């Protein structure tokens, strides 16, 4: 997510700014905070796991996390993700895909590939052993064609999330405002209409709910034409936990959960990207 491409949203962020200053003062003083703004007493192992992922990325001189690394960070923060496993051989790919239960999705794992779909590095709807074998080979072939010198770290096998309403949860570290969160509905709503809401982190659960209800496409989430309503409480928790994550790890420059499939009950992050400063 880049605010540069949404200049009109600078105004929205500024509008939120004054309120946030007050909030930040309260946070600094640590007084009378709503529960969701209080520092969470995370277990040592959770922070340890996340810190370890970031340290590994930095040690390799990388500025971005691979999808499985970003998703594992999200998972530790209670953000729902797809089941995943990395296969290093075609046999493993077939085995993991069967274990996970079809349909599955195969994706390239390479530190030289950031946009996986563009290089033919994503194959959806893998339904059996034959599909799995073909997909494994096809992805390697596609990536080699587009980027002959790409270093391949394996193939990510993941559960295929059933189609549903897609939303986007994003965060950037704004030079003026610090960690800032974004919410919108997927596809054309964000790309064409720029129908998104912003808040400066940290946010409360109430502010997370406001972010969701503010977008013009909100009625879609409430259920229309007999469609069941989406699980807004789960979405609000995802926003809240994203806020906690970007507050805890200030080295995050950009975070994108795009898309998140939202269901009548629950949600699932299908792709996650985290870029470091
Ligand atoms: P890219 O790195 O190019 O953004 P993605 O991982 O986002 O690649 O995959 C491209 C598209 O494929 C997604 O936007 C989504 O529509 C679909 N997709 C990817 N993973 C899954 C999944 N696990 N379940 C369902 N759809 C998926
Ligand atoms: Mg994507």
Question: Does the beta carbon of 117 sit less than 6 angstroms from any atom of ligand 1?
Answer: yes
pLDDT at 3: 46
The pLDDT of residue 5 is 45
Give the whole-angstrom CA distance, residue 225 versus residue 91.
45
Which pLDDT value is given to residue 85? 98
- pLDDT for 61: 96
For the chain, which residues score pLDDT lower than 70?
A: 1-46
Identify which of 59, 60, 65, 15 has the alpha carbon closest to the alpha carbon of residue 272: 65
pLDDT tens-digit series, residues 73-123: 999 999 999 999 999 999 999 999 999 999 999 999 999 999 999 999 999
Whole-angstrom distance, CA of residue 67 vs CA of residue 201: 23
Instruction: Show the beta-strand stretches assigned E in the chain.
Output: 84-87, 104-109, 122-126, 154-159, 165-174, 178-185, 196-200, 252-262, 267-269, 272-276
Domains present along the chain, CATH in parentheses: 3-45+163-276 (3.30.470.20), 83-160 (3.30.1490.20)
Contact 248, 47 (CB under 8 A): yes
Ligand 1 atom closest to residue 162's alpha carbon, by position in its atom list: 25
Torsion angle (degrees, nearest 10) of CA 24, 26, 29, 35:
-110
Q: What pLDDT, on a 0 to 100 scale, did the predictor assign at position 24?
A: 56
pTM across the whole model = 0.87
Give dist(CA 198, CA 6) in Å, integer: 11
**Ligand 2 centroid to 38 CA: how many Å?**
32
Q: Is the CB of 84 under 6 A from ligand 1?
A: no
154-159 β-sheet, strand order: 84-87, 154-159, 104-109, 122-126
Atom of ligand 1 lying closest to residue 107 CA:
6
Tell me 204's DSSP state.
Answer: -
Ligand 1 centre and the CA of 182: distance in Å? 20
């Amino acid at each position: 997510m880049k605010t540069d491409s949404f200049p009109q949203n600078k105004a929205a962020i500024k509008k939120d700014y004054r309120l946030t200053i007050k909030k930040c003062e309260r946070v600094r003083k640590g007084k009378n905070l709503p529960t969701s703004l209080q520092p969470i007493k995370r277990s040592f192992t959770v922070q340890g796991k996340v810190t370890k992922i970031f340290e590994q990325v930095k040690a390799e001189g990388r500025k971005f996390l691979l999808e499985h690394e970003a998703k594992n960070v999200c998972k530790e923060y209670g953000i729902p993700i797809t089941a995943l496993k990395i296969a290093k051989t075609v046999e493993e790919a077939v085995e993991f895909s069967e274990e996970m239960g079809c349909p599955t999705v195969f994706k390239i794992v390479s530190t030289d590939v950031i946009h996986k779909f563009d290089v033919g590095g994503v194959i959806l709807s893998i339904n059996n052993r034959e599909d799995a074998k073909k997909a494994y080979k096809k992805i390697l072939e596609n990536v080699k064609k587009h980027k002959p010198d790409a270093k391949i770290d394996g193939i990510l096998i993941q559960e295929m999330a059933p189609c549903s309403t897609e939303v986007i949860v994003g965060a950037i570290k704004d030079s003026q405002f610090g960690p800032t969160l974004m919410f919108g509905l997927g596809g054309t709503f964000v790309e064409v209409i720029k129908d998104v809401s912003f808040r400066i982190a940290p946010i409360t659960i109430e502010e997370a709910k406001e972010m969701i209800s503010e977008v013009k496409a909100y009625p879609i989430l409430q259920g229309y034409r007999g469609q069941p309503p989406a699980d807004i409480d789960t979405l609000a928790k995802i926003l809240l936990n994203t806020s906690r994550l970007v507050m805890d790890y200030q080295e995050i420059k950009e975070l994108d959960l795009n898309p998140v499939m939202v269901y009548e009950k629950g949600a699932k992050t299908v792709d996650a990207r985290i870029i470091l400063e």
